[in-house]
Structure 1
C-alpha cells in the first residue's frame, strides 16, 4: 500500500496537475518578407494539443528569442510555415522521469506558446538543440537565449575555432554591440587580444569601451572606416569576426595582416534588401596576404554544446563577462521585436517575455 501511494504521488508530481487539453498559439508565416518583416506577413493560429504520451513533456514558453538569422532563413521554407526560433520554456507537465515539472528546456520550438515533445528523441536540426538548463544560480533563465545559449556558443566556438586568435593579436568585430559581437569582444580580451568594435551609435560605442573593456569602438554610421582602422588598429588586423557583410567588411579585410583569419557569422547589412548590395572585390587581399575566410553556423558544434555553456558560465561567475538584454514584452509583439532588432534597437541580446 505504501509503495502504491508513493508511486501515485510521483506520477501526480510528474504530471503537474495539468488537466484537459491545452490550446497553443503560434505564428505562421504566410508571405515572404519584402523589406522589413510586417505583421501582415503572419497569422497567429490557435491549435489544440493532444494528450501527453509516455516519454513526452508539455512546455510553456517564458522567453522567445529574436535573432537576425530569422530574417534571412525563412526564404528557404515553403509557405505557409511555422515561424522558427529558440525559446526558454518551463516544463508544466511530464510523462518522462528524466524531465521534472518546473525545470526549463531550451530548443528551437519556434514562435509558439506551448509545445509537446519527447526531449530524448526530439529533432536536433535547429540552431538551438533541446537542452535541459543547468543551474544558473542567481542569473535569469533568459540568458539561455543569450550568453549562456546559442549566441554565447556562436561567439565562443566562432572565435576560438574559426579565428583562432593568439595573445597580442588584434581582433575587429562588426555588429559589436549585438548579442554575439559584444560577447566575442569580451572573450577576445580574456584571451589577451586587442579588441576593436564597430557599432551603430555613440552610446553603443561608449558601452563597449567603458563597460565591456573594448580597446576602441567606432560608430560606423558617422565615422570614416579607414581612419578608424588606422587609429584603432596600429598593428593592423589579425582576426575579423564579421556579423554584417557589405562594404565595411571589404574595407576591414583589405586592412588585415598576412595570414589573417576571418570568421563569417552573418550579413545583417543585407537582410532587408531585395537585391544583394555590391561590395569591393576581396580577391587581391585574400591572395596577396594569404588570408583564411570561413563561414560557420553554430550547430556545427552541437556535440560540444555544453562545453561552450560551461565555459561562459564560469567566466560569468568570475566577473569576466558582462551582458545586457533588450527585453520586449508580450507574445503579440514578436514581429515588432524582430523589426527593432534588425533596426539595431538592441544592445546585447533581444528577447521577448511572453507574459
Structure 2
C-alpha cells in the first residue's frame, strides 16, 4: 500500500439522519442501539489537534535518519490473499522510535523504489512496526516487491512521520476504503481505548478483499458498518457520511473517488472537522496545459490540463523516481534548467524552488519547462 498524505478542515452545516442499523460484518441482522452525540466546539478541537502534531524534537528521533529494519513476520490478512501484513524489528532487537495512529514509514527498497506505508500495529509495542500491503500487479512495482520480502530480509526505513494525526477526544466517524483501513484501524483502536464516541464505516470490493475483518468483528457491532460493494453497490457520499457526529470529526482514508465524494458532501453534515489521507494521485485542479522537455533526449512532451508532469514523464521513463504523488516526500524532485515552475508542493524551501520542482504536483507558470531528466 503506497500512500500519500493530505489533511483538510471544513466547517459543516446540518447533520444527516442516522440510518437503521445495517447487518453485521458477516451479513447477519442485528438490532440498533442509539449512540450519544458528544458536542465538540471547532476551535477547541483545533487547539487540541495542534498539540498532537508529530514533533521530532519531542519524539527524540529525526524521521529523516535511516534505520535498517529486518522482516520478522509475514502474514496474509485478507481472504483473497492479496494483502500481506509485514512486521519489522530493529537489527539489534532494541526499541524503535515512538509513533502515533496515522504515522507512516518511508521504505527504500532494494530495487531503488521508495514507497510509503501506514503503521497499523500497536503504538505501545516499541519493539516492532507492522504495516499491511495490497499487491497491485498493474502498479509501479513497489507493492509486488514488498509482498516478496521474506522473514530475515533487511530494508532501509525512514520515519515515522505523521501527516494524518488522530485526536482522541470529542466524537468521530472513521471511514476506510479498501487498503485505506491501515491508518484507520490504529485510530479506531485508540478511540475505543480512550472511550470517545465513535462510528466506523468500512467499504471495499468484497469481504474477501477487505483485511482485518476478523479483528473488526470483535468490536462493538452497533458502531461498525462494513459494506462491501458486491453486496451494497458502490457507496455514495451520503452513505459514507450518514453517521458523521454533530460537532465532531471525520477521518477518511481510501481511493481518490471516495475522498473527493466525502469532501464534496462534508458540508452537508453536522461535523466540524474533516481529516483525510489519500491513496494515489489527486485530481488536478485548475490546471493549464504546458510542455516538458527532457534534457537528456530533447524530446518535448505535452502535459494536458488534467494530468501531472510525472504521469506524462513515466510513460517515457518508467524508472523515474516517485512515491507520495502529493508533493511532500521529495522523491520526484528534479532540477529545472529553463522555464518557470508553478509550485504546488510543501517540501521545497523558497531557495530550492528557484531551480527545482516536484513533478508529481507542480506545473508550469506557462509555456515549456526543460528538466534535467
Indicate the TM-score class for this superposition, using the shorter chain for normalisation: 0.3 to 0.5
- What TM-score do you get using the length of structure 1 for normalisation? 0.33
Higher helix content, 1 or 2: 1
**Structure showing greater relative contact order (alpha-carbon pairs closer than 8 Å, 6 or more residues apart):** 2
- What TM-score do you get using the length of structure 2 for normalisation? 0.32
